[in-house]
C-alpha cells in the first residue's frame, strides 16, 4: 500500500537526532511492549506484524514513536483475535468468562528462542528468471495490501547484483495466503537513475527485491 | 507529550526513578497485568526478553566480528563469503540476523545501511536500533541524501568516494565492515573492538 511508512526519498520530515550507544530501551514501558510483542500468542509472522503497523492511519503513524506503534498494533491484534475485549483494554480490569490460558513462551525458552538460527529461504521448483548482471526494471505497481517494493524505485532500472535464493514472499505471507516463496534478488540502482542528474555519479542504492516486483529492463 | 498532571506524585514511588509515568506507561502496565492474569504471557519470560536486549545483544557483538575480521584474514574471507555462518562462529545468531551480508568500506567505497519501510536492523550483532535509525528523518533521507546524512554525523565524504546505500527491504540484514584505522597495527582484538562504533557499523560514521 502507498502508505506514509514508505518514506524513502521524502524530505522535510525533521532533524536526525544522534544518540550515544548503550540504551536498548528509553523507558521501562518500551521494553515491556517489545517483550509482550515477542511473547504474545497473537504473534503470527513478521510480514503480518509489519502490515499491522502500516495500517495505522498516516497522520497518527507520523506522530507516534516506534514503540507506540508496536503497542498500538499489539493491542489491535489482541482485540481482533478475541483475546482481549475493547472494554478490558480501556479499563484494564479483567472480564470473567475465558479460562486461564498457558503462555506461549516461558522464561526458560526465551534465550533458545531468541538465538535460534531461522531462515526465510525455501526450496522451490520454479527456476529464477534473472541472474547477476541482468538489467531489470522495478514494476510500476501499486498493490493495496502489504508490499516491500518502495515507491521510490518503481519504474526505475537497475542491475541484478546477487541472487539470494527463494525467500518467503511478504505480499502473500502478510495476508495469510501462504509463504509463496519467490526468488529474491539484490538490485542496484544508480543514484542518478533514482534522483536525477544532480546526484553523485558514483553513488547507488541497492534493495532486496522479489521476482514479481521486477521485469526485464 | 502526554499530560503532566499531579506532578508532585511522580517523583517517588515508581521503579525507574527518572520520569513521571506517562499515559502510555500506565496503559502498557495495565495491558501487561491483563495478559498475565489471562495466562497469555509469562511475566518472567518478559523479564528475560528485556534482559536479552539490554545485556546479551548490542553493538559490542558486532565490534567483535569487525575486530576479528581485521586481525584474521581467513575469518574475513569467510565473513565476506557467508556472513551468517561466520558471525555464528562467534556465537551470534537469532531473529533479525537470519541472513547476514557484510559490506566492506575501502578508501574508495563507503557503505550506509537503512530500512526505509520500517526499521530492519541486525539485532544479534548490533542489538536494537537507536531511535534515529527508526525515525522518519533518517528513513526518508538516507536514500536520497546519504552524503548529507553522513555529514550531519560528522564525516564529509569527498565527491570521488562511492557511496553505496543498502535499503533492507527483505530479511537480509547488512553490517558495514569499517576500514581498520591507521596506526592500530600492534593492537590486539579486544583493543581494536573498543575502537569500533555502532554508527561505524551502520555507516553513518567512518572510523
Domain positions in chain B are: 16-54, 58-202
Residues A60 and A109 grouped into a single domain:
yes
Q: Residue A168 maps to which CATH number?
A: 2.30.30.50
Q: How many CB atoms lie within 10 A of CB B158?
A: 6
Which residues in A lie closer than 8 A to residue B139 (C-beta atoms)? 7-8
Domain B58-202: CATH superfamily is Nitrile hydratase alpha /Thiocyanate hydrolase gamma (3.90.330.10)
Is the residue at A67 inside a domain? Answer: yes
Is the residue at A125 inside a domain? Answer: no
Label residue B148 exposed, middle or buried (CB < 10 Å: 0-12, 13-18, 19+): exposed
Output the pLDDT for position B9.
Answer: 36
Residues of chain B below pLDDT 50 = 1-17
| Contact call for A18 and B170, based on CB within 8 A | no
Residues A211 and A146 grouped into a single domain:
yes
Q: Is the pLDDT reported for residue A199 higher than 50?
A: yes
Give yes or no for a contact between B127 and B94, defined as CB atoms under 8 angstroms apart.
no
Quick check: B195 contacting A, CB < 8 Å? no
Residue A43 binned pLDDT confidence (cut-offs 50, 70, 90): confident
Is the residue at A16 inside a domain? Answer: no
Residues A110 and A82 grouped into a single domain:
yes
Give yes or no for a contact between B28 and B163, defined as CB atoms under 8 angstroms apart.
no
Return the residue of B nearest to A204 by Cα.
B164
Q: pTM value?
A: 0.93
Output the pLDDT for position B18.
Answer: 55
Point out the domain boundary residue: A52, A85, A115.
Answer: A115
Q: Is the pLDDT reported for residue A7 higher than 60?
A: yes
Quick check: A193 contacting B, CB < 8 Å? no
Q: Which domain holds residue A42?
A: 28-115
Is the residue at A6 inside a domain? Answer: no
Output the pLDDT for position B3.
Answer: 41
| Model pLDDT for residues A138-197, shown as the tens digit of each residue | 999 999 999 999 999 999 999 999 999 999 999 999 999 999 999 999 999 999 999 999
Output the pLDDT for position A92.
Answer: 63
Output the pLDDT for position A97.
Answer: 66
Helix (H) or strand (E) holding A165: strand A157-167
Which residues in A lie closer than 8 A to residue B169 (C-beta atoms)? 148-150, 207-209
A2-26 average pLDDT score: 95
Residue A124 binned pLDDT confidence (cut-offs 50, 70, 90): confident
Residues A149 and A197 grouped into a single domain:
yes
| Contact call for A164 and B172, based on CB within 8 A | yes
Of A100, A102, A110, A31, nearest to A71 by C-alpha is A31
Residues A196 and A139 grouped into a single domain:
yes
Least CB-CB distance to B118: which of A50, A89, A105?
A50
Q: Residue A103 maps to which CATH number?
A: 1.10.472.20
Return the residue of B nearest to A121 by Cα.
B99
How many whole angstroms separate alpha carbon A7 and alpha carbon B115? 10
Quick check: B104 contacting A, CB < 8 Å? no
Is the residue at A18 inside a domain? Answer: no
Residue A125 binned pLDDT confidence (cut-offs 50, 70, 90): confident
Residues A32 and A78 grouped into a single domain:
yes
Point out the domain boundary residue: A86, A115, A144.
Answer: A115
Point out the domain boundary residue: A115, A143, A166.
Answer: A115
How many whole angstroms separate alpha carbon B161 and alpha carbon B158? 6
Residues A34 and A105 grouped into a single domain:
yes
Please count the residue pairs, one from chain A and one from chain B, whose beta carbons lie less than 8 angstroms apart: 272
Output the pLDDT for position B6.
Answer: 38
Q: Give the count of domains, chain A.
A: 2
Is the residue at A207 inside a domain? Answer: yes
| Contact call for B117 and A50, based on CB within 8 A | yes
Residues A44 and A88 grouped into a single domain:
yes
Of B46, B101, B50, B54, nearest to B79 by C-alpha is B101
| Contact call for B143 and A205, based on CB within 8 A | yes
Residues A140 and A109 grouped into a single domain:
no
Helices and strands in chain A, H and E counts: 8, 5
Residues A32 and A111 grouped into a single domain:
yes
Is the residue at A9 inside a domain? Answer: no
Is the residue at A152 inside a domain? Answer: yes
A19-27 average pLDDT score: 92
Cell reading at A177: 495466503
Amino acid at each position: 500500500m502507498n502508505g506514509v511508512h514508505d518514506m524513502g526519498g521524502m524530505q522535510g520530515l525533521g532533524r536526525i537526532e544522534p544518540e550515544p550507544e548503550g540504551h536498548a530501551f528509553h523507558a521501562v514501558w518500551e521494553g515491556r511492549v517489545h517483550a509482550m510483542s515477542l511473547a504474545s500468542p497473537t504473534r503470527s509472522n513478521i510480514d503480518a506484524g509489519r502490515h499491522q503497523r502500516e495500517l495505522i492511519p498516516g497522520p497518527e503513524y507520523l506522530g507516534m514513536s516506534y514503540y507506540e506503534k508496536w503497542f498500538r498494533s499489539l493491542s489491535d491484534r489482541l482485540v481482533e483475535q478475541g483475546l482481549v475485549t475493547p472494554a478490558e483494554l480501556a479499563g484494564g480490569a479483567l472480564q470473567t468468562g475465558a479460562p486461564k490460558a498457558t503462555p506461549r513462551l516461558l522464561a526458560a525458552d526465551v534465550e533458545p528462542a531468541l538465538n535460534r538460527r531461522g531462515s526465510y529461504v525455501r526450496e522451490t521448483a520454479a527456476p529464477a528468471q534473472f541472474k547477476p548482471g541482468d538489467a531489470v526494471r522495478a514494476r510500476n505497481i501499486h498493490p493495496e495490501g502489504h508490499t516491500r517494493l518502495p515507491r521510490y524505485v518503481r519504474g526505475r532500472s537497475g542491475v541484478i547484483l546477487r541472487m539470494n535464493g527463494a525467500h518467503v514472499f511478504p505480499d502473500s505471507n502478510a495476508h495469510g495466503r501462504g509463504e509463496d516463496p519467490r526468488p529474491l534478488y539484490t538490485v542496484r540502482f544508480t543514484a542518478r537513475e533514482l534522483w536525477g542528474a544532480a546526484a553523485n555519479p558514483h553513488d547507488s542504492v541497492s534493495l532486496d527485491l522479489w521476482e514479481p516486483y521486477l521485469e526485464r529492463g | 507529550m502526554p499530560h503532566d498532571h499531579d506532578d508532585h506524585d511522580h517523583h517517588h514511588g515508581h521503579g525507574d526513578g527518572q520520569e513521571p509515568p506517562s499515559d502510555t506507561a500506565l496503559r502498557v502496565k495495565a495491558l501487561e497485568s491483563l495478559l498475565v492474569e489471562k495466562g497469555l504471557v509469562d511475566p518472567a519470560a518478559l523479564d528475560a526478553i528485556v534482559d536479552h536486549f539490554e545485556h546479551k545483544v548490542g553493538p559490542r557483538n558486532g565490534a567483535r566480528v569487525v575486530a576479528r575480521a581485521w586481525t584474521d584474514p581467513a575469518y574475513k574471507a569467510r565473513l565476506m563469503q557467508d556472513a551468517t555462518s561466520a558471525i555464528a562462529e562467534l556465537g551470534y545468531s537469532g531473529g533479525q540476523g537470519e541472513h547476514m551480508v557484510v559490506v566492506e568500506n575501502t578508501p574508495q567505497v563507503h557503505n550506509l545501511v537503512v530500512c526505509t519501510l520500517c526499521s530492519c536492523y541486525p539485532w544479534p550483532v548490533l542489538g536494537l536500533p537507536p531511535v534515529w535509525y527508526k525515525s522518519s528523518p533518517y528513513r526518508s533521507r538516507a536514500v536520497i541524501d546519504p552524503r548529507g546524512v553522513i555529514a550531519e554525523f560528522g564525516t564529509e565524504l569527498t565527491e570521488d568516494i562511492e557511496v553505496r546505500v543498502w535499503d533492507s527491504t527483505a530479511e537480509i540484514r547488512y553490517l558495514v565492515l569499517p576500514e581498520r584505522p591507521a596506526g592500530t597495527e600492534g593492537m590486539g582484538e579486544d583493543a581494536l573492538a573498543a575502537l569500533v562504533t555502532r554508527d561505524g557499523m551502520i555507516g553513518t560514521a567512518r572510523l
